[in-house]
Structure 1
Amino acid sequence: MTRLLWQKPGVQVDERIQHFCAGDDVILDREFFLFDIQASRAHAQGLQLIGILDADELAGIERELTALAADFSAGSFVLDETFEDGHSAIEARLIERLGDAGRKIHTGRSRNDQVLVATRLWLKDRLSRLHALCRESAEVALARAEVEATLPLPGYTHLQRAVVSSAGMWWSAWAEAFIDDAVRARDTLAWVDANPLGSAAGYGVNLPLAREHTTAALGFGRMQVSATYAQLSRGKFEMAAIDALSSAMLDLRRLAWDLSLFTSAEFGFVALPAQYTTGSSIMPNKRNPDVIELMRASYASVAAGRTEVEQLLSLPSGYHRDLQFTKGAIFHAFGRGLGALELLPDLLRNLEWKPDAMRAALDSSMYATDLAVDLAREGMPFRDAYRQAADPARWEQGDADASLAARVSPGAAGDLRLDVLRERLGPGS
């Protein structure tokens, strides 16, 4: 390992303790490294604006940061245990290439605000991707709801057959769910879009740092004004981002449950695309819905990440090393969550209904609610109508298409209001 930034003369570093403290930090920093380089560039520009760096020194730092980003992306620079973390790796590279100019890069900043800004940029990137995936899933669901609006599908409560429903209602439900999730991702992104760079260790520095410049240069919507609050917000903003992800993952989990049931032989309503299934190692007859089962399971990693961050926040104000563990929590939560959501739009585009099986599952009891409402519409008190419609002797196999067409309450099969959902989704971005 290179010499530690904080190492003092005459103090021997215990390798076991250092390994415990560093843990997998340098490995996790690979995820944030390009954002750390981006923030270092903006910080260097700010230092030049206040006279700490001259124009030549800034040009050299910008050149070497560009080269470092390219080398890292190409794999010729590897962030490994040679370095304590990604921050020290950037500084070591600049010192190696630029000497004293590289030694100036850390003026006015701490590794505390350095990790904050890199993480904040990373969260913005991930929330933007979450927003895009939720939009795409909603768009697919809306398109299929329009095409399959009148395709009959049994509606269930308590996993028991309840009423006649439709594929259009099923699709519109998921469309609205993912519209809500997209809105939440967008709003959370706007909330965390605050620049902590320049807050140093949480108390500012005795330099007129160009925080307005770094805010604009890094594309933040606003500056996080209080240097102390910048530290207090660590974990809080991460938890909010995971909450936005959780919203989409809870919907994905329930959707995956539907598909797990609908693809079973007992239901037989849906055929999955072949690439979304796998075989058994011993039973040659099996095609297993492993992908949707792992989609269903992925929420567990998101929930675990959220819990880990929350438990780390039982702290007084100021920076504490405990917060180092928030990086792994958000990395694993978003890695597993976005990985599952990436597969969803194509799954929704390509799953196939089995209309014969869906119609065959519509028994006469599923028209009882229609009967009760019809009697009430004719003037019978609803509780009397309910009792009459509860008599199996009055049940008759109805017309599924007519039942759906008559369901005209807003949002029901006869009035899906897809135009309203489309308006809420809005144009792209």
Structure 2
Amino acid sequence: MSDLLWQKPGVKVDARIQRFLAGEDVVLDREFFAFDIQASRAHAQGLQLIGILDGDELAGLERELDALAMDFKAGRFVLDERYEDGHSAIESRLVERLGDAGRKIHTGRSRNDQVLVATRLWLKDRLVQVAALCRESAEVALARAQAEAALPLPGYTHLQRAVVSSAGMWWAAWAEGFIDDAVRARDTLVWVDANPLGSAAGYGVNLPLARDHTTAALGFGRLQVSAAYAQLSRGKFEMAAIEALGSALLDLRRLAWDLSLFTSAEFGFVALPAQYTTGSSIMPNKRNPDVIELMRASYASVAAARTEIEQLLSLPSGYHRDLQFSKGAIFHAFGRGLGALELLPDLLRNLEWKPEPIRAALDPSLYATDLAVDLAREGVPFRDAYRQAADPARWAQGDPEASLAARVSPGAAADLRLQVLRDRLAGLC
């Protein structure tokens, strides 16, 4: 490992303690590294604006930071155990290439605000991805709701057949859910879009740092004003981003549950695309819905990450090393969660309904509620109508298309209000 930035003369570093302190930081920081370089570039520009760097020093730093970003992307520079973390790797590279100009880059900042700003930029990028994938899933669901509005489908409560529903209603439900999830991701992005760079270790510095410049240069919506609050917001903002991701994953979990049931032989309503299934290692007859099962499981990682960060935040104000452990949690949550969401739009595009098993499941009991409502429309008090319609002797095989056509309450099968959802979705673009 290279010399530690904080190492004091005459103090021997115990290798075991240092391994514990560093943990997985140098590996985890690979996720942040490009954003850390981007923030270092903006910070250097700010230092030049207040006279700490001259024009030539800034030009050299910008050149070397751009080269480092390209080398990292191409695999020519590897963030590994030679460095304590990504921050020290950047500084080491700049000192190696530029000497004193590299030694000046850390003026006015701490590793505390350095990790804060890199994390914040990373979270913004991930929230943009969450919103985009939710929008795409909603678009697919809306298109299929329109195309399959009249396809009858049993509606269930308590996993028992309840009323005649439709594929249009099923699709519209997921469309609206993922629109809400996209809105939540967008709104969370606005909330976390605050620049902490220049807060240093949480108390500012005795320099007129160009914080407005770095805010604009890094594309933040606003400055996070209080240097002390910048530290207090660490973990809090990460939890908010995880909760936005979790909202989408909760919807995905329930959708995956539907498909797990609908693809089973007992239902037989849906055929999955072949690439979304796997085989058994011992049973030649099996095609298993492993992808949707892992989609269903993905929320567990998100919930666990949120809990881990929440437990870390039992702290007084100011920076504490405990917060180092929050990095692994957010990487795991977004890695698993985005991986699941990325597969969803194509799954929704390509799953196929199997009309024959669906129609066979539309037994006479599903029309009992229609009968009760029809009697109420004729003037029978609903409780009396309910009792009359509860008699199986009055049930008869109905016409599912007619049942759907009569379901005219807003949001029901005959009035899906898809244009309202399209307008909401268009407002997100």
Normalised by the shorter chain, which TM-score bucket?
Answer: over 0.9
1:143-173 Cα deviation digits (max 9, x unpaired): 0000000100000000000000000000000
The residue number in structure 1 matching 2:260 is: 260
CA distance in 1, matches of 2:42, 2:350: 45
* Secondary structure of the corresponding residue to residue 412 of structure 1: coil
Describe how 1:24-103 pairs up with structure 2 within 5 A.
Answer: 24-103=24-103
1:206-255 Cα deviation digits (max 9, x unpaired): 00000000000000000000000000000000000000000000000000
CA distance in 2, matches of 1:403, 1:153: 11
CA distance in 1, matches of 2:91, 2:173: 51
Is the CA contact (8 Å cut-off) linking 2:113 and 2:196 kept in structure 1? yes
Indicate yes or no: 2:357 matched with 1:357.
yes
Indicate yes or no: 2:342 matched with 1:338.
no
The alpha carbon displacement at 1:428 in A equals 5.8
CA distance in 1, matches of 2:8, 2:427: 57
1:165-191 Cα deviation digits (max 9, x unpaired): 000000000000000000000000000
The residue number in structure 2 matching 1:104 is: 104
Describe how 1:7-406 pairs up with structure 2 within 5 A.
Answer: 7-406=7-406
CA distance in 2, matches of 1:40, 1:302: 30
C-alpha RMSD over aligned residues: 0.5
CA distance in 1, matches of 2:426, 2:208: 43
* Secondary structure of the corresponding residue to residue 416 of structure 1: coil
CA distance in 2, matches of 1:182, 1:261: 26
Return the letter of the residue paired with 1:409.
Answer: S
Return the letter of the residue paired with 1:39.
Answer: A
The alpha carbon displacement at 1:426 in A equals 1.4
1:117-166 Cα deviation digits (max 9, x unpaired): 00000000000000000000000000000000010000000000000000
Return the letter of the residue paired with 1:173.
Answer: A
Return the letter of the residue paired with 1:392.
Answer: P
The alpha carbon displacement at 1:424 in A equals 1.0
CA distance in 2, matches of 1:395, 1:142: 34
CA distance in 2, matches of 1:182, 1:279: 34
Return the letter of the residue paired with 2:45.
Answer: Q
CA distance in 2, matches of 1:359, 1:32: 52
Is the CA contact (8 Å cut-off) linking 2:183 and 2:428 kept in structure 1? no
* Secondary structure of the corresponding residue to residue 164 of structure 1: strand
CA distance in 1, matches of 2:304, 2:155: 33
CA distance in 2, matches of 1:267, 1:371: 26
* Secondary structure of the corresponding residue to residue 162 of structure 2: strand
| Sequence identity (%) | 87
Return the letter of the residue paired with 1:145.
Answer: A
CA distance in 2, matches of 1:201, 1:295: 40
Unaligned runs of 5+ in 1: none
* Secondary structure of the corresponding residue to residue 107 of structure 1: coil
1:40-88 Cα deviation digits (max 9, x unpaired): 0000000000000000000000000000001100111000010000000
CA distance in 1, matches of 2:246, 2:280: 31
Return the letter of the residue paired with 1:122.
Answer: W
CA distance in 2, matches of 1:256, 1:287: 16
CA distance in 2, matches of 1:44, 1:143: 49
CA distance in 1, matches of 2:45, 2:377: 73
CA distance in 1, matches of 2:10, 2:412: 76
1:294-351 Cα deviation digits (max 9, x unpaired): 0000111000100000000000000000000111000000000000000000000000
1:377-413 Cα deviation digits (max 9, x unpaired): 1101000000000000000000000000000000000
CA distance in 1, matches of 2:280, 2:427: 43
* Secondary structure of the corresponding residue to residue 9 of structure 2: coil
CA distance in 2, matches of 1:90, 1:288: 47
Return the letter of the residue paired with 1:24.
Answer: E
* Secondary structure of the corresponding residue to residue 296 of structure 2: helix
Runs of 4 or more consecutive aligned structure 1 residues displaced over 4 Å after TM superposition: none
The alpha carbon displacement at 1:427 in A equals 5.0
Return the letter of the residue paired with 2:394.
Answer: R
CA distance in 2, matches of 1:294, 1:153: 25
CA distance in 2, matches of 1:295, 1:306: 18
* Secondary structure of the corresponding residue to residue 343 of structure 1: helix
CA distance in 2, matches of 1:88, 1:36: 11
Is the CA contact (8 Å cut-off) linking 2:28 and 2:328 kept in structure 1? yes
